[in-house]
Structure 1
């Protein structure tokens, strides 16, 4: 909401009581929409006063649907004005309000071309917007994320948390589907954190947290959907921005350009990031159930990380009702680790053997996404047909060389090359029927995954291929889906959106090593329903239920065993089954006198939960135990939780925001840890919390601080690390707010941060402690250029939405993704 409108709203509220004492009473209502796009004008201001007495000013604002109502008015003749920044004011002079309800109907407002520049530069929306199926976090108003990346932004979004590896959780569940501008990327299947690091925070307009997806959305993501919307100016002319940051740990830069003339629009973006080399250490210990040591390891690595992402999008108006658009994006990132490892094995009779090794490992990924869609609009602006297609390719490589000191073991070279191709087609149709809306559509995804592994062993540079560890794995996954969704209003201020989605999955995988070839297919019928009740003008209550599915991605399926580390190793499981969840949520939100409150309680039951499984493997090197991490369907998890977000301005120019999430974890029905069920098979309470304060020192100078606290995460075998972070930021706007400079500080009093992972099994326990440099100082800058020269042209989001697989979970014990 614009500052001017907030002040006006408060002014209206303070004066409205003067009209309440008269009788009889009347009311006024209506709906405000854009005359060009036919979309609702959220937060349009409605003001009115009696013709005879202009001092008796009254008013309200429109909700997210553009609807408004104002009660307790006295009948009579009024002057009414409907306004919103960037639009021409709509007036009703000498309008007679009669007893009862006076409905102004649908009010069309036109864009004011002379104010376009003001809209682009000064437009400001509330930090949080609550809609029937989602919560919207407007990231443009954030200060301390400037110069950072998408992970910095997501940490400040209610209900979300991001761990040290960049893995995202929604209310404690990492099974979340992440979209970028409503579209997915095959790269998300390998490492979500690396993809998010290539998206500059300065380019993020908003983040949508969809906790109650309708049947139209893919059913993937047992906890919900996150849609990251980047900045784009759908206005004529040429404009763009340059931004970046230079710091003691991270550096990044980004450039974007928007051009539109007539029916053609082009949007381009190029960004990259680079992390200075940093030293990370890992201490690993393993004990018998009686407490005797079995393995101890210490490693020290120099870690580097870099990423690059670029995109170009074109849209063209074939006619006033036929729209065509296409987008091509490419990305690439790389992480390198170079260091030494000292390992000790505690054998019977107090015998201790040592193993020294040096490792150099590079993990890289590159790929592209190409999408095209066609939209047909009709006379009724709510009626729409969309046909879309998308092709994605992602290539992942893991190459390592491990050299053992003094010939204790054969040296090893490992190579794993993986390819993930995804082809999808989708058709959606929206048909309004009176005050109701019917939606239906279909979608198909063809996914082809290949993983080739080569392992060589030798001494003095003479290597021989190890046949038992070298293979080519092929995996195909095809998904066919159809849905129908129906939305309607009933009674007074009640709204319902219900639907059902059916998905049929066909799997086909090769035999590799200990894994047999398999074929499988299954069908899921997934219902969803959302009931919303408007409570007054700016409050609502929501109750929802849905079923969702989470198929494992390449990270979990890949049978490649990374043996670069002599003790801590990892291997995927091609035989994993998908997760299925039932979700119930009750939510409440309100906006009143500068205070935003968003509260919810939820229940989630997930069957066939996929988690990491730690076990001992003594087959590779007799007498030397190896901690092997793989993945399995460990049983059922029931989780209850609550989330509370509050934004409050106690004094002028100061805004405080806080969020706390409490949720439980209870693994049931697993057969892995029956002997230690007292430690793992019980309910555990966890939390995620942050507090964020910003102070407007002047019209162009803002200071902000952010403190985050995350408890350790429970797994059925133990715990993953807790995390805390404190940032301070300052931002100074220059040159009529077209440019800015800033200073960001992270954990100024702590140079390093420690992360602890624990595993409990019937036979042993193990602990991994990782130390990372975390303190950082950074300078940021941004510059916006260009000028609008035609009518604002906002378009509805459209196109294909994919990315329907379980993403990589963090596992710091492996030491493969260290480095923030």
Structure 2
């Protein structure tokens, strides 16, 4: 253990010494592998010991591919390479007077050392890299037994509102990837899918606010890359987690891995059952006075009032599995095939009560609706990956093929005063093919060229049917004015190239350009409408980094992004959420383009790490949702109620400014504090087709504090506090939302097992309160998607050590050129 502590301390000191060197500088490169398997070792430490002074002059750590590139003053050194659980290797008497590649360095596993590893410093939940933030899911106690939606709500820079909508720095147009690629695992409805995938299936989440050209240009806010669990340890190993909770919930998940020789087999499977009660209420005042275009009163009717309440009784059941085989064809080539399957079976029963009052507040009428809904969604995904390393310098080719088949079937009924008066069915089918090729070519010791192609071909069919009860013959009749069938096709072909280099030991840059061609066809056989869109876009990216010292960096990034309208955004047929509330798509909706600028600063002060960013985004043709009175009415219990319609439109422009900082504080081995604060301002300039100005400016913010402490008896205690500040747009004002989560965990059986208890929304305060104001009505509403919940989980690990050793720094080194 003393050797490990000494090695880590010397490497940190060496980072400071590096900036003080004035000698002739050379760059030493190489790769570190596990000798038995030829698998790269990430976070291995490489140290250069001056032979004359017998001290470490500088050092560094290896990347994910096992590579290192370290500038040092010319001289004669002993080079040492270490990794936890492996024998230390020393390469003596290296005369380093010019750039040199040490080649492939193999380390042998030390079985005794693996069993004797002690806790030095627990890996932080959040790691800050130069070009991304990495959130390690396994270290967060508050999400055990939860879902991916719970995970994302604890990720720095990310917020999830009470309806499950994910936002990055306050912008909901965020691209969500699985293992770096679009995936059907997030389903046709990503909000619902993220609430069904178990947190235990996720290893980490990468927050990328300035994506390189290798990534899709979709997502004006940036990218969230969800990395699924997958082990590569030798032999048979894995873990199983079971959980129970209140409101009634239960689940079991397991991830297993078997590796022998040239073959690695991996599987993650989970089953989840949970009840999710929720509620909402609204109170609306209708202004029944009617004015002409000159503002002259032409119809002076008294105001009316509507009180609406909803109780949601939901049951969610789901199974998901991912099975794959990785074959190491040679030491430099591998082929991986995997199959993923997810099946969700959901029930939702909504009890709706409408009460109408006159201008004096006197009771007028009351109606009760009961809306039972059943939903089943299935996802089948097949993936094939081939990777070829041409040498040990990072020269490689990667090929990917992915096919998905998704379906989502919904069936709902409406009972008014006990009578089944309405039936709605929605059948959605989607198939997607993804083709991808990426080529990486190192140029010299400090530069890298990359080029690639991605084709994303998406076919989606939606069959929406609504039928009403004919009280004359007591039969249901399909309403052809509200029912429709939509064929939606979106094909995106993209090619990119980028070049990155390091100048000296301090300045790095990564420049890229991506070309995307989008072809969209919309076919509506019901109405005979057919439209086609075909457009190209160029998307440059710039990422710069300057290392002020070993623990201080400045970064700057620019990327051009696009937001394409989804199929339901452009489907002109109306869909009803209630008798008086309609959503209608806009077939003329154009894509929105934006430019995103980001300037970041990282500094480590002893036990404190600070990462700050200032960002600006300018968007043209930005989307906004507009509500207006249709002028139509629906008869409810003999009363005429106005029908409100909501639809997306393109605004002239949108500007976002923001500042955020993340602070990590480790005062001692058993205490870790992480805080994230983000404040942003949004200004909107635009006018609706009927001349209504939507100009608006609003400021909002959110803050998150995570405190993790080890109590006596090695009981881990974690508290998470979240606050989302108030916000507003042209028609809506949202009040702030505060929530708190708490968890306790204890390791058992010599760290082979863990038991954890957590409470989500401790104060039952996670509710959205919103006020909406238009010329014809004013409404205030409150919505709580999920009430407070309790969860108890037990995890058992077999043939694997609990990963507690912090094997890497927090500033991350150079850019990840591969995106």
Alpha-carbon distance between aligned partners in 1 of 2:549 and 2:790, rounded to the nearest angstrom = 46
Alpha-carbon distance between aligned partners in 2 of 1:188 and 1:34, rounded to the nearest angstrom = 36
Shift of 1:68: 4.2
Alpha-carbon distance between aligned partners in 2 of 1:239 and 1:340, rounded to the nearest angstrom = 48
Match for 2:326 among 298, 315, 318? 315
Alpha-carbon distance between aligned partners in 1 of 2:712 and 2:104, rounded to the nearest angstrom = 37
Superposition pairs of residues 405-420 of structure 1, within 5 angstroms: 405=417, 411-420=421-430
Partner of 1:793: none
1:58/1:377 CA distance change after superposition, 3 Å: closer
Structure 2 residue 378 is the aligned partner of structure 1 residue 366: yes
Superposition pairs of residues 211-610 of structure 1, within 5 angstroms: 211-249=209-247, 250-276=249-275, 278-288=277-287, 292-345=303-356, 352-405=364-417, 411-434=421-444, 435-458=446-469, 462-511=475-524, 516-559=529-572, 561-563=574-576, 565-610=578-623
8 Å contact kept, 1:245–1:251: yes
Shift of 1:412: 0.8
Q: Which range is displaced more, 723-732 or 127-136?
A: 127-136
Shift of 1:179: 1.4
1:157/1:406 CA distance change after superposition, 3 Å: closer
8 Å contact kept, 2:629–2:776: no
Shift of 1:481: 1.4
Superposition pairs of residues 774-785 of structure 1, within 5 angstroms: 774-785=787-798
1:470/1:187 CA distance change after superposition, 3 Å: farther
1:57/1:701 CA distance change after superposition, 3 Å: farther
Partner of 2:107: 111
Q: Which range is displaced more, 325-334 or 336-345?
A: 336-345
Counterpart of 2:330 in 1: which secondary structure? Answer: coil
Counterpart of 2:110 in 1: which secondary structure? Answer: helix
Shift of 1:189: 5.5
Alpha-carbon distance between aligned partners in 2 of 1:148 and 1:567, rounded to the nearest angstrom = 35
Alpha-carbon distance between aligned partners in 1 of 2:722 and 2:3, rounded to the nearest angstrom = 32
Counterpart of 1:318 in 2: which secondary structure? Answer: strand
1:245/1:286 CA distance change after superposition, 3 Å: farther
1:635/1:286 CA distance change after superposition, 3 Å: farther
Q: Which range is displaced more, 490-499 or 553-562?
A: 553-562
Shift of 1:673: 9.0
Alpha-carbon distance between aligned partners in 2 of 1:24 and 1:495, rounded to the nearest angstrom = 20
Counterpart of 1:173 in 2: which secondary structure? Answer: coil
Partner of 2:670: 653
CA offsets 1:96-153 (integer angstroms, 9 cap, x no match): 89xxx88775475423322485599979644443444322222232222222222222
8 Å contact kept, 2:598–2:615: yes
Shift of 1:38: 8.7
Structure 2 residue 716 is the aligned partner of structure 1 residue 702: yes
Structure 2 residue 45 is the aligned partner of structure 1 residue 44: yes
Please list every run of 5 or more consecutive structure 2 residues that lacks an aligned counterpart in the other structure: 290-301, 802-817
Partner of 1:196: 194
8 Å contact kept, 1:616–1:627: yes
1:762/1:188 CA distance change after superposition, 3 Å: farther
TM-score, normalization by structure 1:
0.85
Shift of 1:172: 0.7
Structure 2 residue 683 is the aligned partner of structure 1 residue 687: no
Shift of 1:545: 0.7
Shift of 1:351: 9.6
Counterpart of 2:767 in 1: which secondary structure? Answer: strand
1:16/1:628 CA distance change after superposition, 3 Å: closer
8 Å contact kept, 1:9–1:59: no
Alpha-carbon distance between aligned partners in 1 of 2:527 and 2:356, rounded to the nearest angstrom = 27
Alpha-carbon distance between aligned partners in 1 of 2:15 and 2:340, rounded to the nearest angstrom = 52
CA offsets 1:268-314 (integer angstroms, 9 cap, x no match): 11113222252524334244399944533222232222332111112
Count of residue pairs the alignment pairs up: 774
Shift of 1:160: 0.9
Structure 2 residue 684 is the aligned partner of structure 1 residue 667: yes
8 Å contact kept, 1:396–1:419: yes
8 Å contact kept, 1:582–1:606: yes
Partner of 1:794: none
1:363/1:554 CA distance change after superposition, 3 Å: farther
Counterpart of 2:142 in 1: which secondary structure? Answer: coil
Alpha-carbon distance between aligned partners in 1 of 2:15 and 2:550, rounded to the nearest angstrom = 14
Shift of 1:448: 1.3
Shift of 1:452: 0.9
Alpha-carbon distance between aligned partners in 1 of 2:432 and 2:483, rounded to the nearest angstrom = 25
Partner of 1:629: 646
Alpha-carbon distance between aligned partners in 2 of 1:29 and 1:594, rounded to the nearest angstrom = 30
Q: Which range is displaced more, 759-768 or 121-130?
A: 121-130
Shift of 1:569: 3.4
Alpha-carbon distance between aligned partners in 2 of 1:318 and 1:15, rounded to the nearest angstrom = 39
Alpha-carbon distance between aligned partners in 1 of 2:19 and 2:604, rounded to the nearest angstrom = 22
Q: Which range is displaced more, 366-375 or 292-301?
A: 292-301
Counterpart of 1:193 in 2: which secondary structure? Answer: helix
1:214/1:775 CA distance change after superposition, 3 Å: same
CA offsets 1:545-577 (integer angstroms, 9 cap, x no match): 110112223443455644362223334444432
1:699/1:499 CA distance change after superposition, 3 Å: farther
Q: Which range is displaced more, 240-249 or 762-771?
A: 762-771
1:387/1:772 CA distance change after superposition, 3 Å: closer
Partner of 1:739: 753
1:150/1:15 CA distance change after superposition, 3 Å: closer
TM-score, normalization by structure 2:
0.85
Alpha-carbon distance between aligned partners in 2 of 1:68 and 1:528, rounded to the nearest angstrom = 26
CA offsets 1:449-507 (integer angstroms, 9 cap, x no match): 11112221115752122222222111111112111111122244211111111111112
Q: Which range is displaced more, 27-36 or 300-309?
A: 27-36
Alpha-carbon distance between aligned partners in 2 of 1:494 and 1:531, rounded to the nearest angstrom = 8
Counterpart of 2:476 in 1: which secondary structure? Answer: strand
CA offsets 1:485-533 (integer angstroms, 9 cap, x no match): 1112224421111111111111211247789431121111111111111
Alpha-carbon distance between aligned partners in 2 of 1:202 and 1:508, rounded to the nearest angstrom = 39
Alpha-carbon distance between aligned partners in 1 of 2:646 and 2:206, rounded to the nearest angstrom = 34
Match for 2:153 among 152, 155, 173? 155
Alpha-carbon distance between aligned partners in 1 of 2:543 and 2:282, rounded to the nearest angstrom = 48
Q: Which range is displaced more, 113-122 or 146-155?
A: 113-122
CA offsets 1:162-181 (integer angstroms, 9 cap, x no match): 12232211111111111122
Please list every run of 5 or more consecutive structure 1 residues that lacks an aligned counterpart in the other structure: 789-800, 803-820
8 Å contact kept, 1:267–1:313: yes
Partner of 2:769: 756
1:345/1:509 CA distance change after superposition, 3 Å: farther
Shift of 1:734: 1.4
